[in-house]
Structure 1
Amino acid sequence: MALRCALEMLKDDAEGNECREIIVDRLHALNYHIRSYFWLDFRQLNDIYRYKTEEYSHTAVNKFNVNPESIPHWLLDFLPNHGGYFVGNVSPARMDFRWFCLGNCIAILSSLATHEQAMAILDLIEARWEELIGETPLKICYPAIEGHEWRIETGCDPKNTNWSYHNGGSWPGRSDGFCLPFLVNTHH
């Protein structure tokens, strides 16, 4: 969004046009990277299940060496047939498969998501309304990290206990003008 705003603020002169070209190139690369490597739907999940590991070349299909064994058991039940979302993080050998509301909403608002991806995100929210919205204003991520994984990921940080504010909890302040009005319209 900052790059798109910068495009609007640049002067129409030689220096501004040079910056504009750099920004457009950066936006193109960013869009490709986010849309290709962070997107998860059933088609992509099916591909991940078939990934070979230890591929290290420019022709590698599994660019981040994500191990198919790292796919969490809850994901198949959570991911609807016609839905999808951007995962929280992709790093070597590991993908954070949790769903993060704010990042996915920003991807829609900033046009990082294609129209089809935006509709798939909204389809997921509608299909999983009870888990993601339920009786609370809005959960920031799903599911919360619990047990042994919580100890490893957070270093036993008490402010990040399961279903607390930073670990799957409700963000009531986010319902007052950013995400919830835009999400409520998708729920029939």
Structure 2
Amino acid sequence: MISHISFSFLVQSLFYSALLCAREMLTPEDGSADLIRALNNRLMALSFHIREYYWLDKRKLNEIYRYKTEEYSYDAVNKFNIYPDQIPPWLVEWIPPEGGYLIGNLQPAHMDFRFFSLGNLWSIVSSLATTRQSHAILDLVEAKWSDLVAEMPLKICYPALEDQEWKYITGSDPKNT
């Protein structure tokens, strides 16, 4: 079981698409009804998890600010024990009122609040994002065009990490460098 491993949103959105493709290639007539059922169950679970826990807009940001920490129960609001002081200062002003996006990663006690263009745009193409979320992502891209595109092709990630920041954000292990 790999439940302790955290996969980035981009990896999960690509995995979602791979599951969709696998389901399309199978037909119930060839004896794969159980596999199709398993794929459907996994697709539903994955889409719920991403849509519910990775989504960030002004409403969700305000909710995170009010989170209580150290809640450990099935009905806990703060299921991942996120500390509100982890919210980066740039984020509050950066999210437009009608915009939102799917965050880069989520793991216990940590959210990667960066915007990853490929994952968010792919979530629209693959219907991983809901219709409302898709519109909000596109609203954010339009409102933050100067940050995301400006004088160059679309930036893959915003904001870019500087100096040693990547070690703290990504959970770098010195043994692997």
Say whether the fold is shared (TM-score over 0.5): yes
Which of 128, 137, 143 aligns to 1:121? It is 137
2-side partners of 1:43 and 1:56: how far apart? Answer: 23
> For residues 99-138 of structure 1, what are the structure 2 equivalents within 5 Å?
99-138=115-154
Contact 2:117 2:156 in 1 (8 A): yes
Distance 1:35 1:2, change over 3 A: same
2-side partners of 1:108 and 1:31: how far apart? Answer: 12
Q: Count the aligned residue pairs.
A: 156
Which of 62, 65, 72 aligns to 1:49? It is 65
Gaps spanning 5+ residues in structure 1: where? 157-188
2-side partners of 1:79 and 1:52: how far apart? Answer: 23
2-side partners of 1:153 and 1:7: how far apart? Answer: 35
Distance 1:40 1:17, change over 3 A: same
Give 2:157's aligned residue.
141
Gaps spanning 5+ residues in structure 2: where? 1-16, 173-177
Give 1:93's aligned residue.
109
Name the SS for the 2:28 alignment partner: coil
Deviations 1:46-69, CA, capped at 9 Å, x for gaps: 110000000111111111000000
Which of 61, 66, 88 aligns to 2:77? It is 61
1-side partners of 2:35 and 2:167: how far apart? Answer: 45
Give 1:167's aligned residue.
none
Following superposition, the deviation at residue 153 of structure 1 comes to 4.5
Which of 29, 35, 38 aligns to 2:51? It is 35
**Larger RCO: Structure 1 or Structure 2 (Cα < 8 Å, ≥ 6 residues apart)?**
2
1-side partners of 2:62 and 2:38: how far apart? Answer: 36
Deviations 1:145-182, CA, capped at 9 Å, x for gaps: 224524545799xxxxxxxxxxxxxxxxxxxxxxxxxx
Q: Which amino acid aligns with 2:59?
A: R
Q: Max radius of gyration: which structure?
A: 1
Distance 1:38 1:18, change over 3 A: same
